[in-house]
């Protein structure tokens, strides 16, 4: 029996090819777990990797000579275990992947980025089976389907890390996430995977949530499905910071899930509350500022930050222990990730293109196992 997989040479979303790889032989290497993959969820990063555009982490080489299996987020079942497991899994356990198994706790480090990270630089999970080190897995929550559980590793954890108290730092363990966020104002930009996870976490914890989107229909879904409190169409209201201030009596947002990057940061600076946090998560609106504007904007950032005595914080997913902490919160509130559409494994390239087109609300998932 062989592993079925999709491979990319990082040369385009329409250039992925089907391939096979040998099934790991039993006995498995020490401290390793063989997982049959049921579902994979897609992240914007996966589209960038397949297009050779994931270049902003200097320690990750883009476009190596070998074809790469993309994607990082999966839910599956343990089908074999090696000896000497650090984390005790047994055959039949349902598990989810940890994006970077070296980041057990605390901050990301350059050597972790360089040598781990599913779907670049390591082969990813867009395949039928994967051999994980035991530390690279966590138990999947029982109340979630496989399609829902596979959405947790990147989108949910990134949103979870973004909704933390900045002063407490990354290692802070909240005694009560609910009390930390209760009554706070959260802006979630767009209706993609990270943003919608952020809406769910913030609402569960009692925050007031403002969602921005290019689509009125998606905004209505955010209200009716997830209870979003205020809705702003960033296409028809390009100065959406004014709308955030109007909705909050001039207060602004305590937390902004900044997904647009160069396209939205300027508005976020005007929408953030005094003492608030802008979480630099994404760059859907571009990674660089426009030429001509560049000098002025770069020069202005420090002034803009101090002007409202706020924190501009870079976010990079999160460590394994915080993923565990988040799973406890999800379990407590029975949060179910929003799965917008499920594609069959043989339509994986179409699924990646669909995600890239931005038509979705929440997550796009691939059904790997029949």
Ligand X SMILES: NC(=O)c1ccc[n+]([C@@H]2O[C@H](COP(=O)([O-])OP(=O)(O)OC[C@H]3O[C@@H](n4cnc5c(N)ncnc54)[C@H](OP(=O)(O)O)[C@@H]3O)[C@@H](O)[C@H]2O)c1
The contact set with ligand X (CB under 6 A) reads: 43-45, 154-155, 158, 189-195, 212-215, 218, 234, 259-260, 263-264, 281-285, 315-317, 355, 358
CB of 34 to ligand X, least distance (A): 27
- Closer Cβ to ligand X, 281 or 327, answer by number: 281
C-alpha distances in angstroms, 146 versus 71, 297, 338, 345, 348? 16, 44, 12, 14, 17
Q: Are 125 and 37 in contact (CB under 8 A)?
A: yes
Cα–Cα distance for residue pair 169/93, rounded to 1 Å: 33
Cβ nearer to ligand X, comparing 182 with 290? 290
- Hey, which bits of 124-184 come out as E strands? 129-133, 137-139
Q: Which is nearer to ligand X, 34 or 231 (by Cβ)?
A: 231
Nearest distance, CB of residue 46 and ligand X, angstroms: 9
CB of 289 to ligand X, least distance (A): 13
3 state DSSP class of 297: helix
Q: How far is the CB of 213 from ligand X (least distance, A)?
A: 3
Please report how close the Cβ of residue 273 comes to ligand X at its closest, in angstroms. 19
Tokens 């009560």 sit at which residue? 176
The full DSSP string for 28-67 is PPTTEEEEEEEEEE--HHHHHHHTT---SSTTSPSS-SS-
Six-digit token string for 75? 């839910």
In the complex with ligand X, the residue whose CB is nearer, 272 or 281, is: 281
- For ligand X, give the closer residue by CB, 81 or 157: 157
Tokens of 212: 């921005």
Q: Which residue, 36 or 57, has its beta carbon nearer to ligand X?
A: 57
Q: 243 CB contacts (<8 Å, ≥6 apart)?
A: 230, 232, 237
143: its two tokens = 């109340």
Rounded distance between C-alpha atoms, residue 82 and residue 134, angstroms? 9
CB of 130 to ligand X, least distance (A): 20
**Measured from the CB of residue 99, what is the shortest distance to ligand X in angstroms?**
9
Identify whether the C-beta of residue 130 lies closer than 8 Å to the C-beta of residue 70: no
CB of 344 to ligand X, least distance (A): 20
N- to C-terminal Cα separation, the chain = 16
Which residue, 39 or 195, has its beta carbon nearer to ligand X? 195
Residue nearest to ligand X as judged by C-beta position: 192
Nearer to ligand X, 133 or 198 (CB): 198
- Give the CA angle between residues 355, 153, 126 to the nearest 5°: 55
């Amino acid at each position: 029996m062989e592993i079925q997989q999709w491979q990319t040479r990082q040369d385009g979303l329409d250039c992925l090819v089907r391939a096979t790889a040998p099934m790991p032989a039993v006995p498995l290497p020490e401290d390793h777990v063989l997982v049959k993959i049921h579902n994979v969820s897609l992240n914007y990063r996966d589209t960038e990797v397949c297009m050779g555009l994931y270049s902003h982490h200097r320690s990750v080489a883009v476009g190596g000579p070998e074809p790469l299996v993309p994607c990082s987020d999966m839910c599956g079942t343990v089908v074999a275990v090696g000896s000497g497991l650090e984390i005790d899994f047994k055959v039949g356990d349902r598990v989810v992947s940890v994006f970077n198994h070296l980041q057990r706790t605390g901050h990301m480090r350059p050597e972790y980025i360089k040598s781990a990270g599913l779907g670049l630089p390591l082969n990813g999970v867009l395949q039928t089976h994967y051999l994980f080190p035991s530390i690279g897995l966590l138990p999947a929550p029982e109340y979630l389907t496989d399609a829902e559980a596979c959405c947790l590793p990147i989108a949910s954890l990134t949103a979870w890390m973004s909704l933390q108290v900045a002063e407490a730092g990354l290692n802070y363990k909240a005694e009560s996430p609910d009390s930390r966020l209760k009554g706070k104002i959260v802006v979630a930009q767009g209706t993609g995977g990270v943003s919608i996870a952020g809406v769910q976490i913030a609402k569960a914890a009692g925050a007031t949530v403002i969602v921005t989107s290019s689509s009125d229909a998606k905004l209505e879904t955010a209200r009716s499905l997830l209870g979003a409190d205020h809705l702003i169409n960033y296409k028809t209201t390009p100065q959406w910071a004014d709308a955030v201030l109007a909705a909050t009596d001039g207060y602004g947002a305590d937390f902004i899930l900044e997904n647009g990057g160069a396209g939205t940061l300027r508005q976020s600076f005007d929408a953030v509350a005094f003492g608030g946090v802008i979480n630099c998560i994404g760059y859907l609106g571009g990674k660089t500022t426009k030429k001509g504007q560049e000098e002025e904007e770069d020069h202005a950032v420090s002034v803009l930050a101090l002007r409202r005595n706020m924190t501009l914080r870079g976010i990079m997913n999160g460590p394994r222990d915080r993923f565990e902490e988040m799973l406890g919160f999800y379990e407590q509130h029975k949060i179910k990730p929003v799965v917008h559409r499920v594609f069959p494994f043989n339509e994986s390239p179409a699924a990646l293109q669909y995600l890239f087109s931005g038509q979705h609300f929440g997550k796009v998932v691939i059904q790997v196992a029949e």
